[in-house]
């Protein structure tokens, strides 16, 4: 009648969605200002002014059939070159337009990349905690996701666990730094060790292992934290990027896949990316949003608002006795549940009108995700509730 697998995927209750619905009902019942919703990962700062300014300018100046017409499937050449130039200026790389394939955002970038790479019996290694859709995209591509838990505490890579998980079936390893759901940035030390590990395994198995870097949060880091640019550390790196978070336009769906020349069989893999894009029904990335990008490179929404939110919460959590993984980027905190059962902890939090996401669906039980892409005044009003929650567990 229909695909049972697709039905299951569509009918699957989403934890975040359920919390969203609960929050909506609760806000209606007791007033929106009384509910403290930390469940959603939707940017809360507006797009930088240059976004709407450029959209309007494009409407006024570009020929309609070009602005709204098909670009080639790989994306407009000028747009791709502008991204190459920007990255080269910023990171000292040497990309050209031909290394880029424009996509409809990070989910498209990952789906297409997994599909382009996957052969029968392939496995893709995911580090937990991870964005749950990784697993959906890997399975849809025909690969088996293999989960490797990060170290408790700092959530850096656990190399002993990675050693046990990697095999001749390993096609790729996915890193996401800054991380959703934890906000953790992989240190340069971790990256160096990971790349050395992968080089060794490539030699041992006599085959490439690809490092897929999903980095929509690259620009969202605080203080003097650096996010290493991975193509400079490991040749077989493929970058999946999205402008969703940096430019605060997650709904508009624009990003890219970067296949550097140094990647083994790079031109064949680029063609496989083109083929996968075709097979998945992507004709071209949304054209108006492609043409928007050159003017916006290097711009972001007001990230200082996120940093302020993070600092407010981190200070409060320290006072309350909560433990939090070191949060250097994105707009998430990963707070350790004072009890083993994070779902029960989230239920308890609801008694104080705090909406948090249990970490089980991120493959790393015992924590909750606190999304701080919210209004600062909501955070300020929520702090007494967090204190009461801590008190109820005797933390303070």
Residue 376 DSSP symbol: H
Of 27 and 68, which CB lies nearer to its own copies in the complex structure? 68
Of 94 and 271, which CB lies nearer to its own copies in the complex structure? 271
Q: Which of 44, 156, 177, 213 is in the footprint of its own copies by CB under 8 A?
A: 44
Q: Which of 286, 294, 321, 366 is in the footprint of its own copies by CB under 8 A?
A: 286
Of 202 and 231, which CB lies nearer to its own copies in the complex structure? 202
- Asked if 272 interacts with its own copies (CB under 8 A), we say yes
C-alpha 239/C-alpha 54 separation (Å) is 26
- For residue 288, the minimal CB distance to its own copies (Å) is 6
Other beta carbons less than 10 A from residue 7's beta carbon = 11
| Interface stretch with its own copies, choices 39-47, 157-165, 177-185, 325-333 (CB under 8 A) | 39-47
- Asked if 211 interacts with its own copies (CB under 8 A), we say no
- Asked if 274 interacts with its own copies (CB under 8 A), we say yes
- Asked if 297 interacts with its own copies (CB under 8 A), we say no
Tokens coding 46: 């507006």
Match 């007494």 to its residue by tokens: 384
Q: Which of 39, 82, 99, 118 is in the footprint of its own copies by CB under 8 A?
A: 118
Restricting to residues 344-373, name those near its own copies by CB under 8 A: none
- For residue 299, the minimal CB distance to its own copies (Å) is 13
- For residue 111, the minimal CB distance to its own copies (Å) is 3
Task: List, in sequence order, every residue forming a beta bridge with 239; answer none if it has no partner.
Answer: 213, 258
Restricting to residues 51-80, name those near its own copies by CB under 8 A: 51-52, 55-56, 59-60, 63-65, 67-71
Tokens coding 188: 């340069």
Of 82 and 287, which CB lies nearer to its own copies in the complex structure? 287
Q: Which of 19, 35, 47, 173 is in the footprint of its own copies by CB under 8 A?
A: 47
Of 3 and 31, which CB lies nearer to its own copies in the complex structure? 3
- Asked if 327 interacts with its own copies (CB under 8 A), we say no
Rounded to whole angstroms, what are the CA distances from 88 to 215, 264, 377?
Answer: 17, 21, 39
Rounded to whole angstroms, what are the CA distances from 286 to 48, 105, 106, 236?
Answer: 19, 10, 13, 28
- For residue 203, the minimal CB distance to its own copies (Å) is 16
- For residue 121, the minimal CB distance to its own copies (Å) is 12
- For residue 35, the minimal CB distance to its own copies (Å) is 18
Write out the DSSP string of 40-64.
--S--SPPPHHHHHHHHHHHHHS-H
- Asked if 173 interacts with its own copies (CB under 8 A), we say no
- For residue 205, the minimal CB distance to its own copies (Å) is 12
- For residue 20, the minimal CB distance to its own copies (Å) is 9
Restricting to residues 84-113, name those near its own copies by CB under 8 A: 104-105, 107-108, 110-112
| Interface stretch with its own copies, choices 88-96, 278-286, 307-315, 325-333 (CB under 8 A) | 278-286
Restricting to residues 235-254, name those near its own copies by CB under 8 A: 248-253
Of 228 and 255, which CB lies nearer to its own copies in the complex structure? 255
Of 160 and 264, which CB lies nearer to its own copies in the complex structure? 264
């Amino acid at each position: 009648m229909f695909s049972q697998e697709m039905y299951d995927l569509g009918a699957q209750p989403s934890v975040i969605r359920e919390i969203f619905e609960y929050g909506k009902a609760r806000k209606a019942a007791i007033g929106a200002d009384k509910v403290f919703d930390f469940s959603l990962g939707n940017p809360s700062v507006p797009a930088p002014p240059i976004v709407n300014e450029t959209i309007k300018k494009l409407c006024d100046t570009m020929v309609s059939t070009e602005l709204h017409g098909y670009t080639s499937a790989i994306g407009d050449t000028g747009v791709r070159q502008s991204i190459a130039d920007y990255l080269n200026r910023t990171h000292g790389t040497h990309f050209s337009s031909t290394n880029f394939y424009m996509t409809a955002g990070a989910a498209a970038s990952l789906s297409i990349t997994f599909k382009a790479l996957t052969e029968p019996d392939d496995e893709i290694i995911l580090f937990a905690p991870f964005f749950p859709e990784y697993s959906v995209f890997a399975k849809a591509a025909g690969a088996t996701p293999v989960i490797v838990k990060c170290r408790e505490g700092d959530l850096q890579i656990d190399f002993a666990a990675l050693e046990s998980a990697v095999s001749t079936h390993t096609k790729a390893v996915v890193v996401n730094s800054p991380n959703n759901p934890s906000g953790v940035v992989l240190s340069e030390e971790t990256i160096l060790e990971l790349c050395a590990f992968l080089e060794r395994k490539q030699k041992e198995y006599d085959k490439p292992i690809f490092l897929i870097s999903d980095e929509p949060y690259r620009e969202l880091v605080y203080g003097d934290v650096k996010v290493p640019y991975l193509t400079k550390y490991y040749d077989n790196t493929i970058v999946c990027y999205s402008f969703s978070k940096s430019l605060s336009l997650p709904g508009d769906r624009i990003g890219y896949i970067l296949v550097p020349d140094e990647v083994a069989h790079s031109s064949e893999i680029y063609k496989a990316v083109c083929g996968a894009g075709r097979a998945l029904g992507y004709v071209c990335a949304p054209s108006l949003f492609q043409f928007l990008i050159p003017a916006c490179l290097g711009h972001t929404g007001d990230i200082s608002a996120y940093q302020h939110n993070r600092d407010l919460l981190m200070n409060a959590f320290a006072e309350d006795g909560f433990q939090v993984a070191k949060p250097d980027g994105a707009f998430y905190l990963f707070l350790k549940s004072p009890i083993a059962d994070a779902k029960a902890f989230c239920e308890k939090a609801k008694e104080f009108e705090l909406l948090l996401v249990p970490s089980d669906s991120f493959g790393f039980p015992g924590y909750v995700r606190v999304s701080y892409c919210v209004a600062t005044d909501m955070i300020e009003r929520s702090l007494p509730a967090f204190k009461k929650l801590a008190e109820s567990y005797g933390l303070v």
